Amino acid sequence: MKQLAFDFVAPALPSLHNFIVGRNAEAVQRLKTLAHTPGEERFVYLWAAPASGRTHLLRGTLALLAERGARVAYFAADEDLLRADAALVDAAAVDDVDRLGGPAQIALFGLYNALREKGGALLAAGNAPATRLPLRADVVTRLAWGLVYEVHALTDAEKAQALAEHAASLGFGLQPEAIQYLLIHTRRDMRTLIATIEALDRYSLEAKRPVTLSLLRELLAFERHPRI
């Protein structure tokens, strides 16, 4: 089989518009308000288990702030945070704060204070409520001062509905058995699942065949073992 034009492409960049809300409507609305309304609470801490969407929300909020002219920065590791300069940004997001070492915690404390003083915004995310994080007391206090939201991962039923709706928006129906197969045999984060649905649409058009469970199996087999 020749290489087809349906090759998996990078999922769409995270935004608040392509985040599947589920039970997170209040948090998403608050983040949109933060980006659109100066003077609103500008410090937010999100907590959840990995793959729950918290990184998507951080990056999506920064993208919306950047659209409105803010200078933004995303920090995902100790080394990145140690190079943070509050003078160069209006808004920052710090991911996986539960993994920050001592020097990075000091850097986060300084970044928080500097952004608050200049009227900037700071978003942070971790794997537990702020008071349960293994961090310095002064850092925990700062994280808990702002708005705090738990990010609820989508249930399998919510994922199935979202995938069916996305397929319908592309112009094809997705059988329940195909959705279940997808949830079992691919990574379960929504960015990967949505990208797979879009690849399936391209494969269907390329092969001139309707979308079926058999076609999905073929696509996933080809993706794992491509043939030139």
**Which parts of the chain fold into alpha helices (H)?**
25-36, 54-67, 78-82, 102-118, 137-145, 156-170, 176-185, 190-207, 213-224
What is the separation, in whole angstroms, between the first and last Cα of the chain?
A: 6
Contact partners, residue 153, CB within 8 Å, separation at least 6:
22, 48, 49, 51, 52, 53
Angle at 13 between CA 183 and CA 47, to 5 degrees: 70
Q: Is residue 116 part of a domain?
A: yes
Domain closes at, from 132, 150, 168: 150
Q: Is residue 15 part of a domain?
A: no
Angle at 102 between CA 99 and CA 105, to 5 degrees: 70
pLDDT value of position 7: 52
pLDDT value of position 39: 66
Domain that holds residue 194: 156-224
Task: Count up the domains in the chain and report the number.
Answer: 2
Beta-bridge partner residues of 91: 72, 121
Q: Indicate the residue type of 117.
A: E
Contact partners, residue 41, CB within 8 Å, separation at least 6:
30, 34, 146, 147
Q: Is residue 8 part of a domain?
A: no
Domain closes at, from 102, 119, 150: 150
Residues 71, 120 within the same domain = yes
Q: How many angstroms separate the CA atoms of 33 and 28, rounded?
A: 9
Half-sphere exposure of 162 (CA within 13 A, CB side): 23
CB 40 within 8 A of CB 59: no
pLDDT value of position 6: 44
Residues 108, 170 within the same domain = no
Domain closes at, from 115, 150, 185: 150
Kindly calculate the radius of gyration of the chain based on its CA atoms and give it in whole angstroms. 20
- CATH code, 66: 3.40.50.300
Residues 69, 170 within the same domain = no
Residues 108, 207 within the same domain = no
Residue 39: both structure tokens together: 């003077």
Q: Is residue 75 part of a domain?
A: yes
For the chain, which residues score pLDDT lower than 50? 1-6, 228
Sheet holding 121-126, edge to edge: 72-75, 91-94, 121-126, 43-47, 147-150
Residues 112, 175 within the same domain = no
Q: What is the pTM of this model?
A: 0.82
Angle at 24 between CA 190 and CA 176, to 5 degrees: 40
